[in-house]
A = this chain, B = another copy of it.
Amino acid sequence: MIRDDSPPPARSNAVPRYREIYEALRQKIVSGEWPAGYRLPSEHELARSFGCARMTIGKALGALADQRLVTRRRRAGTTVNMPRPQESVLEIHDIEAELLAAGVSYAYQSLERRVRRASTADANILGVPSGTPVLALTGLHRAGGRPHALEERLINLHAVPEARAERFSGISPGRWLLQRIPWTEAEHQIGALNADAAIARWLAIRRNTACLTIERNTWRDEQRITHVRVIYPCDQHRLVARFRYGPT
C-alpha cells in the first residue's frame, strides 16, 4: 500500500510553528482559561491536535517551562504554575557607556588608590582570606563635569594581577575589568543610605541626602574578582527593570 508521503506544504511563514504553539498555549494560561494547577494535554495529544511532530510540541512546552509558566514532570505531565513572585531582569549598565549613550560627557576621577594586604574588614567584604593582596580604589564618576556617583572598590589581586600595574587615572576600573576579565557570576545588593559628610562633599550634595547604593560582587568560577559599592544621589539615578512573560 502506498501512503501519502508528500511532504507537508512548505510553510514559510516568518514565525516558526513552535512559537505559534507556544503563543497559543500561553494565551490559554494568561487568560485564565487554564488556571493554576490545570494539567495540559499530553505531548502526543497536542501533537495530534496541532498536526505536528511531538518534538515541536516539546519545544513549545519547554519554552513555557523556561518561562516558569508551567512545570513538567515525567508521567505526571505538564501543569500550570501559580503566578510567580514578582521577578524582573535588572540590567546594571556600565556608568560610562550609559552616560555617553545619553550624550553626556563622562570622566572618571581617581581619588585614592592603595595596594594592601586584606584587613579583616576587607576580607569580609571581598570574601577572601585576610592577608590576600588587594587593590583598594575610591573614585568619582563625573557627568557633564559634575559629580555623578561615588565608587568604592576592592579588587582581588590574586584573581587580577594585572591591576597592580594599572593607575586607573582616567579609565574607570569597572570598564577596565569588564574588558579584561570574563566573569561568570555576579550578585547585586541595592539599598539606600543618608550621605555622610565625606560622601556629601564629593558628590556636592547636602549632608543626609538620600542616596541609592549598589553593591556588586563578581566571581569567575568560584574565585572572587571584585567588590564595588556605587553611591548615587537619589535624583541622579533610578534602576529600571522589566520583565515579561514573553514571546521568549
Residue in B88, B91, B209 whose beta carbon sits within 8 Å of that of A194 in the complex: B209
Q: Check A92 for interface membership: any CB of B closer than 8 A.
A: yes
Which residues of B lie under 8 Å from residue A191 when comparing CB positions?
212, 234, 237-239
The verdict on A244 contacting chain B, using a C-beta distance below 8 Å, is yes
Q: Is the interface of A mostly helix, strand, loop or mixed?
A: strand
Known: A83-B182, A85-B97, A90-B241. 8 other contacts (CB 8 A): A88-B90, A88-B92, A184-B244, A185-B245, A192-B212, A192-B232, A194-B194, A208-B210
Interface residues on A, range: 35 or more
Which of A182, A192, A209 has the most C-beta atoms of chain B within 10 angstroms of its own C-beta?
A192
A29 within 8 A of B: yes
Question: 0/1 per residue, A85-101, Cβ < 8 Å to B?
Answer: 11111111110010000
A221-241 contact mask (Cβ, 8 Å, vs B): 1 or 0: 100000000001010011111
B-contacting residues, A84-124, CB 8 Å? 85-94, 97
Q: Which residue of chain B has its CB nearest to the CB of A98? A: B85
A61 contacts the other chain (Cβ, under 8 Å)? no
